[in-house]
Amino acid sequence: MADHYQKTYSWIRRHIILVIFLVLSIPFILVITIVYFTGYQYIKSSITQQAGFKLADAAIEVRSELDAGITGLCKTMSFLSESETMSGLQEEETLARIFARLEKESGDVFQDLAVVATDGQVLAGVFPYGRVYVDFSREEWFIGSCEDRVVVSDVHFDSRNNPYFIISVLHDHCQEQAMLRATVNGLWLSAFVENVRLGRTGEAFLVNSKGIAQTRSRMGKDFGEKLNMVFLEPQPDGTIRMAYHEQGVEMLAAITSLKSNSNWFLVVRQEKEEAIEDILMVRMVFIFGVILGVIFIMVIGYLTSSMLMKKIRQADEKKCEIDEQLIQSQKLAAIGQLSSGVAHEINNPLAVIGEEAGWLQDLMKDADFKDFKHAEEFRDSLGAIVDQVRRCKEVTHKLLSFARKMDSNFSEVNLKEVVDEVVEMREQDAFLDNITIEKVYDKKLPIIFSEPYLLRQLLLNLVNNAVDAISKGGKITIHARMGPQEKVLISVTDNGFGIPRENLNKIFDPFFTTKPPGKGTGLGLSTCHGIITKLGGEILVDSEVNKGSTFTVVLPAKPNPGNKTGEQAAGVE
């Protein structure tokens, strides 16, 4: 049976936990989903956008430096072209002097200088590194120079794999057209972007419109590398902000074109994970919130299920206790019915025995028995039989009065006789436990109007409780007296273990008892309360732990018109 209950409790607990988990989890999942797709994604988008703005600001700043450097070189070339005549530029000595001046002012930025005719032929030049081109007519920079006054070419490599680019300025002084062409060291251009630092993975480099790198970068991007980038529409600030993947790594990039060379684009990029690393804190908070929510659901589920299971177990235990008390009450009722039947059955033979004994007593008065030598002994024996039959009748009559409802109505009651009758029923049991029952009666105790059967049951229950509350050698005092306002007071006082103060307001509740299991049903005082209500009185209790208790019954001395009589008054369970 215990295993069956344990399995049932386990099943109930599992289902309670499941229900609580579902009840709490569904709203929690909905909230987390809403927070993720609104709050978290919004914050992530905002941080990503801020990272894009940061890259764009860096790109604009680096672009300004690049434009300033390249524009300075172009202005220098334009100044030289405009300050000299074509014939003067074609003189080797003049061109060498101009190149020496360029070297002095810019270091090794300029690598050679030449004057090129409109057909692409070199008219004069200074070539320290031996780069001499006879015909430049097919070079992109040359074709561009025929259309634009100043041209900056893409980066190329010489025979030693050194990067360089061309700056060409159209000379049209005195209707004589030619081009002043200079080779610029590509490393000078690359130096502008190689030192750009944006965290651990941020870098900057130049690409042309075909996506070919024109510089190196801090993270290893080299000249001439091809990038798989698709340029989008620029933002209002002139930058293109985009995200793309390179070798499996998601990158954020800001791209802007140079004003000094519209064919060149400055790329400032950074790994997205680092660029939006602030989202890690948000993500940690979000994950921590989810974990905390799951833990909260588990704890609440466990505590709630434990509390409910405790309540269920207590309810089951209380139910079992009540069932046992009801069974005990049913047994008592069955015993009452049985004793009533037994009393009836005993009364019949007792009546016969009494009649026969009386008849024999009448016969013993006859003259024929005067000379019988044992006549006196017979008379004494018959007298004893009659006395014992009378006593048996009194016992069965009392048993009938307490075992079952008797047809009775409110009538005049002598309290002294009722108390004596109740004490007589418990006096023998009290004597065996060395308990003394003392009766105290007021001399002016009146005859009251009440219901004898209910009154006897009320006093018997109080005396029974007093006997149970006393250890061997105790004392019970029953005091009947007149009270104020024509009230009769009957006090039952014992020197037992008393009632704790916290239980005083519960002692009249049905099935409440402080006795060990099997020793009481918890119905005695509840029945007393019901009886005293029917009788139109009240019951008071005063108790102190380890000193004793006093139950005082207050009854009206005169009939109360509001009281129920007859069967209604007697019908107390």
The residue ranges of DSSP E strands in 19-144, in sequence order, are 110-117, 122-126
Please give the residue that has the higher pLDDT: either 444 or 257: 257
pLDDT at 58 over 80: yes
Average pLDDT, integer, range 208-212: 87
Q: Which residue has the tokens 């020793």?
A: 519
DSSP class of residue 557? Answer: S
CA 48 and chain centroid, separation: 34
Which pLDDT belongs to residue 480? Answer: 92
For the record, the structure tokens of 92 come out as 């080797």
Average pLDDT, integer, range 374-403: 75
Q: Residue 265: is it exposed, middle or buried by C-beta count within 10 angstroms (0-12/13-18/19+)?
A: buried
Which pLDDT belongs to residue 4? Answer: 65
Q: Which of 223, 256, 276 is the last residue of a domain?
A: 276
For the record, the structure tokens of 109 come out as 């930025």
Round to whole Å and give the CA distance between 8 and 306: 15
For residue range 300-356, list pLDDT tens digits in order.
Answer: 888 888 888 888 888 888 888 777 777 766 776 677 667 767 776 787 787 788 888
Query: Per the structure, how many domains does the chain have?
Result: 2
H-assigned helices in 195-277: 272-275
Asked which of 2-16, 51-65, 180-194, 362-376 is least confident by mean pLDDT, the reply is 362-376
Phi/psi region, residue 15 (left: phi>0; alpha: psi -120 to 50; beta: rest), is: alpha
Domain assignment of residue 392, yes or no = no
For the record, the structure tokens of 81 come out as 């072209």
For residue range 424-438, list pLDDT tens digits in order.
Answer: 888 888 888 888 899
388 Cβ contact partners less than 8 Å away, ≥ 6 residues apart = none
Question: CB neighbours (10 Å) of residue 550?
Answer: 16
Which pLDDT belongs to residue 223? Answer: 86
Q: Residue 345: is it exposed, middle or buried by C-beta count within 10 angstroms (0-12/13-18/19+)?
A: exposed
pLDDT grade for 564, boundaries at 50, 70 and 90: very low
Average pLDDT, integer, range 238-259: 85
What's the whole-number average pLDDT of the chain?
Answer: 81
With beta carbons less than 8 A apart as the criterion, state whether 423 and 437 touch.
yes
H-assigned helices in 110-205: 140-145, 186-194
Round to whole Å and give the CA distance between 91 and 557: 152
For the record, the structure tokens of 411 come out as 């009538």
Q: Residue 507: is it exposed, middle or buried by C-beta count within 10 angstroms (0-12/13-18/19+)?
A: buried
User: What percentage of the chain exceeds 90 in pLDDT?
Assistant: 11
Which pLDDT belongs to residue 440? Answer: 92
Domain assignment of residue 374, yes or no = no
Q: Which of 258, 276, 294 is the last residue of a domain?
A: 276
Alpha-carbon torsion angle 294, 298, 304, 307, nearest 10: -150
Question: Do residue 410 and residue 550 come from a single domain?
Answer: yes
Please give the residue that has the higher pLDDT: either 172 or 55: 55
Round to whole Å and give the CA distance between 391 and 318: 44
Round to whole Å and give the CA distance between 53 and 48: 9
Q: Residue 249: is it exposed, middle or buried by C-beta count within 10 angstroms (0-12/13-18/19+)?
A: exposed
Question: CB neighbours (10 Å) of residue 517?
Answer: 10
pLDDT grade for 206, boundaries at 50, 70 and 90: very high
Q: Which of 236, 259, 276 is the last residue of a domain?
A: 276
Q: Which residue has the tokens 């936990």?
A: 17
What CATH number corresponds to the domain at position 193?
A: 3.30.450.20
Domain that holds residue 80: 1-276
Phi/psi region, residue 107 (left: phi>0; alpha: psi -120 to 50; beta: rest), is: left
Average pLDDT, integer, range 235-244: 77
For the record, the structure tokens of 277 come out as 């690393």
**Considering the entire predicted model, what is its pTM?**
0.51
Which pLDDT belongs to residue 132? Answer: 63
What CATH number corresponds to the domain at position 454?
A: 3.30.565.10
Domain assignment of residue 322, yes or no = no
239-246 vs 178-185, strand pairing mode: unpaired
Instruction: Count CA atoms closer than 13 A to 90's CA, side-chain side.
Output: 12
With beta carbons less than 8 A apart as the criterion, state whether 178 and 86 touch.
yes
Domain assignment of residue 147, yes or no = yes
Closest C-alpha to 240, from 63, 52, 378, 64 = 52
Domain assignment of residue 312, yes or no = no
Alpha-carbon torsion angle 292, 298, 302, 307, nearest 10: 60
Domain assignment of residue 39, yes or no = yes
With beta carbons less than 8 A apart as the criterion, state whether 512 and 522 touch.
yes
Domain assignment of residue 316, yes or no = no
Q: Which amino acid is at 95?
A: L
For residue range 500-518, list pLDDT tens digits in order.
Answer: 888 877 777 765 666 655 4
Closest C-alpha to 66, from 191, 181, 165 = 191
SS3 assignment for 437-476: EEEEECCCCCCEEECHHHHHHHHHHHHHHHHHCCCCCCEE
Which pLDDT belongs to residue 491? Answer: 93
pLDDT grade for 370, boundaries at 50, 70 and 90: low
pLDDT at 379 over 60: yes
Using CA atoms, how far residue 165 sits from 47, 189, 258, 499, in Å, is 39, 9, 15, 109
Domain assignment of residue 59, yes or no = yes
